[in-house]
Amino acid sequence: MEAARVRIVWVVILSAIVLKQMKSSFMKKEVGTCPRPKDLRALGCSCSILPKGSERSFVCNAARWNADTAARFAIIAGYAEKNSFQFRGKLKWETAKSNGSSEELERVITSPFTALCGSNVQSLKLLHFTYAGEPPHCNFASLEFDDVSIDFPTFFSTAKPSQLRVLNQKNFTGLENLSGVKDLRIHNSSLDAYTNFRLMTDLRILAIEASDLQTQRLDFIPKRSNSLHLVQIRDCKIRSISADLWSAAPHLQHLDLANNEIESLPEDPNQRDTRPSLFLAGNPLNCEKLDWTRGRVIRNPTWQADSIPQCYPRN
């Protein structure tokens, strides 16, 4: 209840900010404002200003996009700024060579992403998106896929994000083509086959929830991943943890394995000052085997009070 109320308040405040920003964008055209709503509507798009300031967020209905639309979008939205961008819908794409007179139109439009490659779009979200064409010819720092049907390995041959969100995906493939990803979060998805996260040596955050990993053993952490500080694998039917977990991730700060089928954890041999916090609620723990964790389970204030591991008395 509390969370729902907070969210409602947040949405109302956000809308108020966006409305205020949009109002000022009608009056003066400057960096940090949205293009005219009329121009955007003609492209099946809408725009809002993110509360942080001049970041703009675009949402476009992909079903209405083609080479011409993408080029027109580049003209009205392609000036230098940080942007986030969202495509929804089924997209039928025909590659065409544009022959307009402006600089943007002279570029060859090879994909719906061409316009975005010309701008400073950092963050691309694809939602209920079906597409079978050329991948983007540029990179995006942050990618989110939610119920998307594309050829992922081909997509990742050019788009190499450092931040990746995967939601509601069946048979998700192509992770092995993403060695540079730093922040990977997967929710309610199934991976097509056993995935080797071990290639992702730059990982800082690995968070997977309610997903089918095609394995019940947590042995896929990259070796010597010095940057990895948070591993959260929740509700994924994990049964066992490989003994090299602690040596593989020497700088781990949080290990959250809630709601799996884990009885015990390998003992952490390190005598570090900054011991990782462990969160093991919702597992059939064998408390005798976990005696070594006594005094090490740190309660994180953001975790709910009733999720304290069952092995220890509440105080």
Q: What is the DSSP string of 78-107?
A: -SSS-EEEEEEEE-----B----SSHHHHS
Judged by CB under 6 A, does residue 214 bind ligand NAG?
no
User: Of 25, 98, 195, 259, which lies in the binding site for ligand NAG, with binding defined by CB under 6 A?
Assistant: 98
Are 44 and 65 in contact, with CB atoms under 8 Å apart?
yes
Q: What is the DSSP string of 46-83?
A: EEEE-TTSS-EEEEEEGGG--HHHHHHHHHHH-SSS-E
Judged by CB under 6 A, does residue 96 bind ligand NAG?
yes
Structure tokens at 40: 């955007």
Minimum CB distance to ligand NAG smaller for 20 or for 97: 97
Nearest to 88 by CA among 127, 143, 115: 127
Judged by CB under 6 A, does residue 170 bind ligand NAG?
yes
User: Of 39, 55, 68, 183, which lies in the binding site for ligand NAG, with binding defined by CB under 6 A?
Assistant: 68
Minimum CB distance to ligand NAG smaller for 54 or for 154: 154
User: Of 32, 100, 180, 284, which lies in the binding site for ligand NAG, with binding defined by CB under 6 A?
Assistant: 100
Judged by CB under 6 A, does residue 130 bind ligand NAG?
no
Residue 248: Cβ within 10 Å count: 19
What's the distance, CA 252 to chain centroid? Answer: 20
Minimum CB distance to ligand NAG smaller for 60 or for 70: 70
- Distance in Å, CB of 43 to ligand NAG, minimum: 15
- Distance in Å, CB of 195 to ligand NAG, minimum: 11
Judged by CB under 6 A, does residue 153 bind ligand NAG?
yes
